[in-house]
Chain A
Amino acid sequence: MGKARLAAARTRGAGAPAGAQGGRARPNPNPFEVKVNRQKFPVLGRKARHAVGQPGVSRARAVHKRTQTLLKEYKERDKSNVFTDKRFGEYSSTMSPEEKMMKRFALEQQRQHEKKSIYNLNEDEELTHYGQSLADIEKHNDIVDSDSDTEERGTLSAELTAAHFGGGGGLLHKKTPQQQGEEGEKPRSRRELIEELIAKSKQEKRERQAQREGALELTEKLDQDWKEIQTLLTHRTPKSENRDKKERPKPDAYDMMVRELGFEMKAQPSNRMKSEEELAKEEQERLQQLEAARLRRMRGEDEGSEARKPKHLSADDLNDGFVLDKDDRRLLSYTDGKMSIEEEQSGEASDGESEEEQGEDLSEEDPENSSDPDGHSDLESDMDSEEDCGRPSGEPRQALGEGTTSIGHRAQEAARNQLPYTFAAPESYEELKSLLSGRTREEQLVVVERIQTCNHPSLAVGNKAKLEKLFGFLLEYIGDLATDDPPNLRVIDKLVVQLYNLCQMFPDSASDSIKFVLRDAMHEMEGAIEARGRAAFPGLDVLMYLKIAGMLFPTSDLWHPVVTPALVCMSQLLTKCPVLSLQDVVKGLFVCCVFLDYVSLSRRFIPELVNFLLGILYIASPNKCGRGYTLVHPFRASGKNSELLVVSDEEDKATWQRRGLSLHWAYRLKAQNKTEANHTSRAWVGRQLHVDVVYISPKPSGAKCPVGSAAVFRTMTLSAQGHGAAVLPNTTLLSCLAVCLALVKGCTQFYSSLPSFYAIVRPLRALLMEHLAGRSHPPELQELCQSALANLEEPEPRCRPLVCAKSKPEPLKLFTPRLVKVLEFGRKQGSSKQEQERRRLIHKHKREFKGAVREIRRDNQFLARMQLSETLERDAERKRKVKQLFNSLATQEGEWKALKRKKFKK
C-alpha cells in the first residue's frame, strides 16, 4: 500500500512541478543551504547527476507532499464516509474558472452525444430549440389523444388561461371590480359564468375532435389514391418478371447448341509431333544429364546440391512418382508390356533360327532333353547371343516384324488370351506363389504385368503399398526360383524387367527390400563364420540378388545405400568362403564377374578380387614352384583342394572350345555335394551334364576316360567313372580357367593406371608365367594367357615420390591490441546482451527496493511526528482546561470566602 501511495505521490509530484518547483529555477542565494557532493577526480564523459544538493528544500518538499497525502489519509483513517467531488477540475490549481466551465460544458455535450447504439448509422446530433427537439417540432402532428387533457400542452387559449389563473383578461379585469362590488348580490352569475365556460370549452373540444377525424379521413383517402397511382407507376417491373417466367420453360434448341459450342473445351494448342531425330536428341540429352549426375555421385561430390526436386508438386499428388512428364512416360511405357514383348519376341525369334540351325544336333541329344525343345532352344539362343555381342542393341527391336509368327510369341498371345485380365495384388508371398505356380514362363510374366497395371498407384489409394509389397514378394520369389531344382533362371531373367520398373516407381521401398535380403544372407554367413570359422558359398539366390542389385541401382556411386553393402557382401564371399569344389569355383567366378561389373565404370580397386583370381590361377596351375606370390586366405598353398582345377587329360585339352559357363553349374554341384550319395551323383552326371557334353565336344565322349583325371578331380565326382563323366568336368575346368584369365585381363585393364599397379599384379604375373611355362593348356588358353600377360608386362611407369598437398601457410603472430567495444563504462564487459540486461534489471530493482524502504521509513517518522504533536496538543489542551477549571474554582472559592468574610464582618 505504501508503495502504491508512493507511486501516486511521485506521479503527482512529477505532474505538478511548475508550481512547486518554481523556486528551483532561480539560484539559491543562501550558500549554507547548498550541499556539494565532491568528486574525487573528474572522469571524462561521465555525467555528474547529483553534484549539488539542497537538503533543506528537498526536505521541505517532502514534508509538504506528505502533509498533502499521508497526513490526509491519516486524519481520515477512522472515517467511513468519503466525500468525493467529481466535478471536473475541481482540485486542479492550474485551471482558471472560465476554463473549467468551458470544459465542463463540453463534457456534458459529449455525454449527450454519445451514441445510444453503435449500429445506428443515422443517429445525428439532435438539434434543439429552447430545449425542444427540432425534429419533434417539425413533425407538426401533435396528435392529441381523446382521453388526455390537451389543454395542458403548451398551446393554451388566452381565455382559458385567464379563466384559470385569472391573469391578463381585460374582461375579467373589468369584471373584478364588479365582482368585488356585487359579490354578494349576484352569486349565480358567477356560477353561470363558469358553466358557460365549461360548456364552451366542451364544445370547442368536440369541434377539434371532429376536425381531426376529418383530417384523418382525408389522409386515408389520399393514401388510397396514392396507392392507385403507385400501381400505375410501377407496372413495369411485374412485366419483366413475367418475361423471365416465360423464357425458362422453353429452352431453344438452337440456343442450347450455341451455348454448348461456346462452353465446349477448345482444343489446346499442343506441341507438334516430334521427328525421329528430335526424339533421339532429347533422349540423348536426358541420358547425358543422367550420366553427368552419375559421374558426380561417383566422385562423391555433394549430392544435396544436385538433388533435383520435381518442379511442381500438385496438391493431389500421391507422391508415388507417377508424373505425367515426358521422361516418366517413357519409363512407364514399359509397364504396359510392350517393351517386354518386343524383347521376348526377339529372343524367341532368334531361338527359332537357332533351332533350325542346330536341328541336326537334336538327334544326338539325351531323350529327356529332346523332349523339352524349349529348354534346348534356350541353350542355343544363348550361344547365339554370345555371337551377337557385336550387334547393335537396337537390332532386336527391328526383329519385331519378322518374329511375329514365332512360336514363343504365339504362346504368349495364347497366354494373354487365356488369363483373366484383372488380378488382385497379393497380400502375402504365399498368395503370389499360388498365383504364379503351375503357370508357364509367359503366363507368369503376364500375371505379374497385369497385377502391376491393375494396381497402378494412380488408380486407387492403397495401390502404392500393394506394389511396394509386390517388389518384396517378387524378390523372394526369385530367390525361390534360384534355389529350385533346377533353378528357373529364364523366369528370373524376365522378372528382372518387372523388378526394374517397380524399382523406378518406388526406389526407397525397393532398396529396403534388397537390403533386407542381403542382410539375411550376411546373417547366415556370419553365423556360419562364428560357428566354424568359415562359411560355405551361399546358394544361387544370393548371387542373383547381388546381380539384380547391380542392375537396379547405379554401381558407380561413391556411396550408395544398397550398392555399398552389396560390395561388402561380395567381399565377404570372396574372402571367407573356401573353395572346396568346382561348384564353388563357378560361384566364385560369378561373384568376381558381378564384382568387376559393379566397378566397371568407376574403376575402383578390389583387393579381394585379385586375391581370388590368384587363388584360382593357383589351383589351376599344374606345376607350382610357389615363388613370387603368396596365397591369401580362402586358398591354401597345400591341401586337398590345391589342384582342383588341374587338367591332365590331353584329349580334353585338344577338343576344348571356349564358351560361357552355365549358371546351373553353381546349383547342380551343390545338390550333389549335399546328398553325397554316389548314385545321385552318377545320375546327375548322366542326366544333366551330358547335355553339355554333347554340345561341347561333338565326338561321343569315350569310355576311355583316364583314371588319373578322375582322381585329380575326386572332390567333385568320386564316382564319376561313368561314361563321359570325366570329360565334362575337364572341359568345364578349362572354361573356368578361361573365365579367370579373362577376368585377370579385365582387372589389368582397369587397374593399369593405379600407382602401385606393379606391386598389385606381381603375384598374378608370376603365376601366369608358370602357366605359360607349363605349355600344357589348349592353344586358345595359351593365347589368352599371353594377352593377359602382355598387359602385365608393360614397363612400370616412373614412380614419382608422394608429396602432400600444400597446407595453408600459417599466419604470423601479430601484436596489435585486441579491440573490444566498450558499451557502457562502469559495467562489466564481455557478457552477452541478455546477461547485461539481466544485471541492469537486478541493479535497478535493488535501487528501487532501497528507495522504497527509505520512503517507508520516512513516512513512519513523519506519522510518528504527527502523532506526537497531536498528543502534545491534546495534553496542552487538557492542561489548559484543567487550569481553567482550577481558575474558575479558585474564583468561586475566593468569592465564597469573600462572602463569608463579609458575613463575619456583619
Chain B
Amino acid sequence: MERDSGPEGVRRALGRLLEAVLASRGQANAVFDVLAVLQSEDHEETQEAVRACSRLFGALLERGELFVGSLPSEDAVMAGSQGATRKYKVWMRHRYRSCLNRLQELLVHPSFEVKELALSTLMKFVQLEGARPLEKPKWDGYYLFPRQLFKAVVEGLLSPEDDCSLLLARFREYLEHDDIRYHTMQAATDTVGRVTDRHPEVPLTFWNNAFTLLSSVSLPSQERGISSFYVKHGELPRTWKVVHLKEHRKAFQGMWLGFLKHKLPLSLYKKVLVIMHDSILPHLAQPSLMIDFLTRAYDVGGAISLLALNGLFILIHQHNLEYPDFYRKLYGLLDPSVFHVKYRARFFHLADLFLSSSHLPAYLVAAFAKRLSRLALTAPPEALLMVLPFICNLLRRHPACRVLVHRPLGHELDADPYDPEEEDPAKSRALESSLWELQALQQHYHPEVSQAASVINQALSVPEVSIAPLLELTAFEVFERDLKKKGQGSVPLEFIPARGLLGRQDDFCAQHFTLS
C-alpha cells in the first residue's frame, strides 16, 4: 500500500481500501492495512482509521457478514473443511474483535478527540450488534444485548489511571437511554467489584471516575418514563427486565451499595453525602439499606456528620428509622465551626426541622439554645443575623424555655451554671442559666445584629420569624445592603481633624505600627 503523506492522504488511501473490502470478498486482506493504521502514533491518522473501521464494520454488521454464535478459534476454522463463506465470516469476525480491542485501548488515549471518537464508534457498534446480535438467542424472544462489548466500554471508562471526567460527561448523553442506563449500572457494579478485588490499594482516580459515572445515573421517577431505548426493538416483551422500573431500582441499589461498601477517600465521602438525599435515597429499592453507611458517616464527626444529617433525616422521617441518642449527637455537632462551614445553611435548615417538634423536652431545647448562643459569641455577623432569630424561635416554640430570657424571681448567681464541656444536654444545666450571651451581643458592632439581639429585652412576640431567607445570607450581601442603605440628611463627619495616617496618639495603630 502506498502511503501518502498527511492525514488527507491517509484518508483517501483508507477510503480506497474500504471500498475494495466492501466491494469484493477477495480483497478482504486489506482489512489488515486499515487495522495497521489504527495503531498509528499520529492522532489524525488514528482518527481517520477509527472512522474507517466504523464504516467498514458497520457495513459488515448491517450485511450480516460476521459470524454469528460463539466464535471458534481462527486456526481451527481455517484448517477445517467448512465452506469458504463460513471461513470468511469467522475470519472477519476475528478482525472485528481485534478492532474492538484496539478501540478499547484508545479509550485511554491521551488525545480527547481520539477518545471521544473511539467511544462513539464503540457505542455505534453496540447499537448495531444489539439490532443484529452476534449470538444465537437461547429461546424465542430472548433479550439480546451486547453485554460483553458494553462491559468492556464501561471498564474502559472507569480507568484507574486516567481522569475520564470529560469522557464521562460525553457518555452521559447515552445514559438518557433506559437500556444503556440499566446495563451501565450492571457493568459498573461488576467493574467496581473487580477493580477493588484486583488492587489492594485502589487509586483515587478510579474512585473519582466511578463516582462521576455513578452520580450521572439518574432514574426516572415513574414507570412510564421507560420508553427510550438505544437499541431499537420491534416490541418489548414484558418479561424483559429492562422494561421494569423495579429492576432498574434494584440495579441502582446494587450499584451504590457495591460502591459504598468500600473505604472511600474523605473528599468522596462528602460528595456522596451531598447528593445522597435527593439523587440516591429516593431511587433505592430499599432505602433502609443505607442506614449503616449513614450512621457510620454521622459518627465520623465534623463536616461529614453535618452532611450525613440530611440522609438520616429522610430515613427517620420517611422510613421509620429509630436512632438512639440522635439529639445528643446533634448537640455534639455544635461547635464554633458550624458558622464557618460551607454547609451552614443546610445544617441550620435541618436543625430547625429537628427542633421544630413541640414534644421535645424543655431541657433539651434549652441546652440547644444556650449552646447556640455561646457559639454566637464567635460568629460573624451574617451568621449572627441567622442564628439569633433561630434561638428566639426556639424560645417561642417552647414556652417552658422562656425562663432563659425571663426569670423574674431568680436569685443572683455566682457563675453561669451552664457547663459547656458537658456532652449530654440533659446534664448541661442549661435550664438554670440565662442567655447572657445575647445580652452581650446587644453591644455588637453591627447595628442589625444588636437589634436582633435586643429582641429578648421585650416579651417575645408570638409568631415565629421565618429563618429561611436568612439561611443563605452571606457577608457580601450584608455589605451590599449596608452600602445601599441611605441615611437621612448628610453624612456625619469626624470632627477631630486628621493629622496623618497614625496621627492620633491614643490609637492602637499608632501605638503598634510605624510607617517606615
Interface on A for B, CB 8 Å cutoff? 287, 290-291, 293-294, 297, 300, 303-304, 307, 331, 334, 339, 343, 375, 378-379, 382-383, 386, 388-389, 393, 489-490, 492-494, 496-497, 499-500, 503-504, 507-508, 510-511, 515, 518-519, 522, 526, 533, 544, 547-548, 551-555, 557-562, 564-565, 567-569, 571-572, 575-576, 589-590, 592-594, 596-600, 602-608, 610-611, 630-633, 659-664, 739, 742-743, 746, 754-760, 796, 798-805, 807
Contacts and interface: CB of A to CB of B under 8 A. Distances in A.
B501 A804 contact: no
B381 A571 contact: yes
11 contacts: A383-B514, A554-B493, A559-B485, A571-B381, A605-B444, A606-B445, A754-B440, A756-B377, A756-B437, A759-B437, A803-B408
A593 B507 contact: yes
Interface string B472-516: 001110111011011111111111011111110111110111111
Interface in B407-457: 407-408, 410-416, 420, 434-437, 439-441, 443-447, 450, 456-457
Contacts of B376: 607
A557 B495 CA distance: 13
B515 A805 contact: no
B459 interface: yes
Interface of B: 335-337, 339-340, 342, 374, 376-381, 384, 404-408, 410-416, 420, 434-437, 439-441, 443-447, 450, 456-459, 474-476, 478-480, 482-483, 485-495, 497-503, 505-509, 511-516
A802 B404 contact: yes
B475 A798 contact: no
A804 B498 contact: no
A662 B445 contact: no
Contacts of B445: 567, 598-599, 602, 604-606
Contacts of A503: 493
Given A290-B495, A304-B488, A760 B440 contact: yes
Nearest to A557: B492
Contacts of B490: 507-508
Contacts of B478: 568
A646 B336 CA distance: 25
Given A378-B516, A661-B513, A799-B416, A552 B482 contact: no
- Among B414, B441, B476, chain A packs the most CB atoms within 10 A around the CB of B476
B380 A608 contact: yes
Q: Which 3 A-B pairs have the closest CB atoms?
A: A801-B410, A633-B340, A500-B498
B85 to A, nearest CB: 64
Contacts of A526: 474, 476
Contacts of A602: 445
A111 B456 CA distance: 90
Given A511-B491, A590-B513, A802 B414 contact: no
B475 A632 contact: no
Given A507-B491, A553-B491, A798-B413, A558 B447 contact: yes
A554 B456 contact: no
A515 B415 CA distance: 44
B436 A756 contact: yes
A507 B509 contact: no
Contacts of A755: 436-437, 439-440
Contacts of B440: 605, 754-757, 760
Contacts of A572: 380, 475-476, 479
Contacts of B500: 343, 493-494, 496-497
For the complex, would chain A's binding face be called helix, strand, loop or mixed by DSSP majority?
helix
A660 B380 contact: no
A120 to B, nearest CB: 64
B489 A303 contact: yes
Nearest to B413: A799
B492 A805 contact: no
B55 to A, nearest CB: 45
Contact of B335 (A497, A504, A604, A630): A630
A389 B510 CA distance: 9
For the complex, would chain B's binding face be called helix, strand, loop or mixed by DSSP majority?
loop
B512 A493 contact: no
A547 B509 contact: yes
A307 B498 contact: no
- Among A492, A603, A661, A800, chain B packs the most CB atoms within 10 A around the CB of A800
A740 B62 CA distance: 80
A802 B456 contact: yes
B404 A565 contact: no
B498 A568 contact: no
Contact of B512 (A375, A561, A589): A589
Contacts of A379: 514, 516
A781 to B, nearest CB: 14
B173 to A, nearest CB: 29
A804 B402 CA distance: 10
B187 to A, nearest CB: 35
Contacts of B443: 603-605, 754
Contacts of A492: 501
A428 B442 CA distance: 45
A503 B508 CA distance: 24
B512 A662 contact: no
Contact of B482 (A504, A565, A661, A759): A565
- Among B384, B503, B507, B508, chain A packs the most CB atoms within 10 A around the CB of B508
Contacts of B497: 331, 334, 339, 497, 500
Contacts of A800: 410, 412-413
Contact of A662 (B378, B415, B439, B516): B516
A764 to B, nearest CB: 12
Nearest to A605: B443
A594 to B, nearest CB: 6
B407 to A, nearest CB: 4
A607 B383 CA distance: 12
Nearest to B507: A597
Contacts of A558: 447, 450
B409 to A, nearest CB: 9
Given A661-B513, A663-B515, A596 B447 contact: no
B302 to A, nearest CB: 12
- Among A389, A544, A593, A631, chain B packs the most CB atoms within 10 A around the CB of A593
A804 B458 contact: yes
A905 to B, nearest CB: 134
Nearest to B337: A633
A803 B493 contact: no
B503 A507 contact: no
Contacts of B505: 388-389, 393
A757 B437 CA distance: 9
B377 A630 contact: no
A606 B445 CA distance: 6
Contact of A596 (B439, B499, B508): B508
A490 B513 contact: no
B380 A607 contact: yes
Contact of B407 (A490, A760, A803): A803
A435 B488 CA distance: 38
A561 B503 contact: no
Contacts of A569: 479
A571 B380 contact: yes
B476 A522 contact: yes
Contacts of A746: 508
A605 to B, nearest CB: 5
A303 B459 CA distance: 27
Contacts of A300: 447
Nearest to A343: B499
A497 B500 CA distance: 6
A518 B484 CA distance: 13
B510 to A, nearest CB: 8
A570 B404 CA distance: 32
A755 B412 CA distance: 13
B503 to A, nearest CB: 7
B276 to A, nearest CB: 21
Given A760-B440, A802-B404, 18 more contacts: A304-B489, A507-B490, A508-B491, A551-B498, A552-B494, A560-B492, A571-B380, A571-B381, A594-B509, A597-B508, A605-B440, A611-B336, A632-B378, A662-B516, A759-B437, A796-B415, A801-B412, A802-B434
